[in-house]
């Protein structure tokens, strides 16, 4: 016997039917939205902004989110907004740089999502099976891909201009991101396909410098490693202007200091320095800083060797002379602490040679200090005065 359909069953089927209809209507509505939004492409900034906002639900709708045209349309609108703002910025400098930046990066994001969706496998209408080429690979067809790649290639250099705009605000963090985006995309497949010109190494070096500079001065937590790596890359490419080496060394020291101040990260200090030395073994400062770290750990002999290495690389680097003398001075202090039962006469044969060796390095550090604040001079004179006092106690005349 067939089961009789109840009233509740009838209601349920009707509800399911209505829901299905609503779903179809919703999907159809989103398809219409995409078509409507596309009409604003090439219009004024406000019109394209409104169209892009209208388009947002279609980017998540099950029917339209997997359609390349949805993302392609969004990308064209975003790029269109960025283009108009860039023209305005070049004309009177009054453009909304933040909107220009968010639109440019959104344009790349939308286009990158559209690209894989635009690759469709061709299907035999009779069998439903994929069509194959002569090599047995599935045939594919595209509709928007060439223009997608062209659009992305055409906007790569805009990222560099955006970096300049953010730097002029100044918004250093966003400037660094924009410059780095340019560097990461100037050799992208799209850029190569459309022969986007790659600048000379020194120009690229300048842009790496700007990434480092902007990162170094950005507000908030400092990413000194990023700054250091950027300055390093600039130098590798032959860019030496704007005190790049000094900025590189300042970033290096700042990161070492940050690691030393964090007990949980102190073990990262020596590996970081060693990596820096491996990347550029002719930087006196790297060896000097490593020597200071080891001296702080009581490894005086290793530290002295590093200070001598630093001096051999740059005989005019005064810090290494001061630090070598400090290591000798601390070696003497350690001997005193370890032999408190000794008299001055007994201490003298060990201490006097250490102090005598330290003196010319202190004097050299003083002559090499050309800075306004005379830090090396002050520190060296302080140690010299104490050594002279020790000489008196030990009955030694220089």
Cβ atoms of 183 and 210 within 8 Å: the answer is no
CA 47/CA 26 separation, integer angstroms:
24
- Kindly state the average pLDDT of the residues 65-90: 96
pLDDT of residue 397: 87
- Kindly state the average pLDDT of the residues 136-155: 90
Confidence band of 1 (pLDDT split at 50, 70, 90) = very low
Q: pLDDT for 79-97, tens place per residue?
A: 999 999 999 998 888 899 9
Q: pLDDT for 245-261, tens place per residue?
A: 999 999 999 999 999 99
pLDDT of residue 127: 81
Cβ atoms of 90 and 51 within 8 Å: the answer is no
Cβ atoms of 72 and 114 within 8 Å: the answer is yes
Confidence band of 63 (pLDDT split at 50, 70, 90) = confident
pLDDT of residue 398: 78
pLDDT of residue 124: 77
CA 319/CA 314 separation, integer angstroms:
10
Q: pLDDT for 371-384, tens place per residue?
A: 889 999 999 999 99
Confidence band of 326 (pLDDT split at 50, 70, 90) = very high
Tokens read off for 174: 């966003």
Length of the chain: 398
Confidence band of 28 (pLDDT split at 50, 70, 90) = low
Cβ atoms of 291 and 299 within 8 Å: the answer is no
Cβ atoms of 363 and 306 within 8 Å: the answer is no
pLDDT of residue 16: 44
pLDDT of residue 14: 44
CA 205/CA 235 separation, integer angstroms:
7
Tokens read off for 172: 């250093």
Among the listed residues 171, 154, 54, 72, the one whose alpha carbon sits nearest the alpha carbon of residue 113: 72
Q: Which of 142-146, 182-186, 371-375 is modeled with the greatest confidence?
A: 182-186
Cβ atoms of 81 and 102 within 8 Å: the answer is no
Q: The whole model's pTM is what? A: 0.84
Dihedral Cα 61, 63, 66, 68, nearest 10 deg = -100
**What is the DSSP-derived secondary structure letter of residue 144?**
S
pLDDT of residue 138: 74
- Kindly state the average pLDDT of the residues 102-125: 91
For all residues of the chain together, what is the average pLDDT?
91
pLDDT of residue 9: 54
């Amino acid at each position: 016997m067939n089961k009789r359909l109840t009233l509740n069953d009838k209601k349920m089927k009707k509800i399911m039917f209505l829901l299905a209809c609503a779903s179809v209507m919703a999907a159809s509505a989103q398809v219409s939205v995409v078509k409507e939004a596309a009409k604003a492409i090439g219009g004024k900034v406000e019109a394209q902004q409104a169209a892009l906002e209208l388009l947002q639900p279609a980017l998540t709708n099950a029917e339209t989110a997997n359609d390349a045209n949805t993302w392609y349309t969004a990308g064209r609108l975003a790029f269109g907004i960025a283009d108009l703002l860039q023209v305005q910025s070049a004309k009177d400098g009054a453009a909304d740089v933040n909107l220009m930046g968010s639109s440019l990066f959104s344009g790349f994001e939308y286009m990158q999502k559209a690209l894989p969706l635009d690759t469709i496998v061709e299907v035999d209408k009779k069998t439903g099976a994929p069509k194959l080429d002569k090599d047995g690979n599935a045939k594919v067809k595209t509709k928007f891909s060439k223009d997608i790649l062209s659009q992305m290639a055409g906007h790569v250099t805009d990222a560099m201009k955006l970096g300049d705009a953010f730097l002029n605000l100044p918004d250093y963090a966003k400037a660094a991101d924009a410059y780095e985006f340019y560097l990461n995309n100037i050799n992208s497949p799209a850029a190569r396909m459309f022969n986007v010109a790659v600048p000379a190494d020194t120009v690229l070096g300048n842009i790496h410098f700007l990434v480092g500079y902007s990162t170094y001065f950005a507000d908030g937590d400092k990413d000194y490693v990023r700054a250091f790596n950027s300055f390093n890359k600039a130098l590798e490419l032959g860019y030496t202007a704007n005190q790049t080496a000094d900025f590189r060394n300042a970033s290096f020291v700042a990161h070492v200091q940050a690691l030393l101040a964090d007990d949980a990260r102190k073990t990262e200090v020596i590996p970081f320095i060693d990596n820096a030395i491996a990347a550029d073994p002719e930087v006196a400062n790297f060896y000097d800083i490593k020597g200071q770290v080891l001296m702080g750990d009581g490894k005086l002999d290793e530290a002295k060797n590093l200070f001598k290495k630093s001096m051999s690389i740059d005989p005019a680097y005064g810090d290494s002379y001061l630090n070598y003398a400090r290591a000798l001075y601390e070696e003497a202090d350690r001997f005193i602490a370890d032999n408190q039962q000794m008299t001055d006469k007994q201490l003298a044969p060990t201490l006097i040679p250490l102090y005598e060796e330290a003196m010319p390095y202190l004097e050299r550090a003083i002559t090499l200090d050309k800075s306004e604040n005379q830090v090396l001079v002050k520190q060296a004179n302080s140690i010299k005065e104490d050594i002279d006092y020790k000489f008196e106690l030990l009955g030694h005349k220089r």
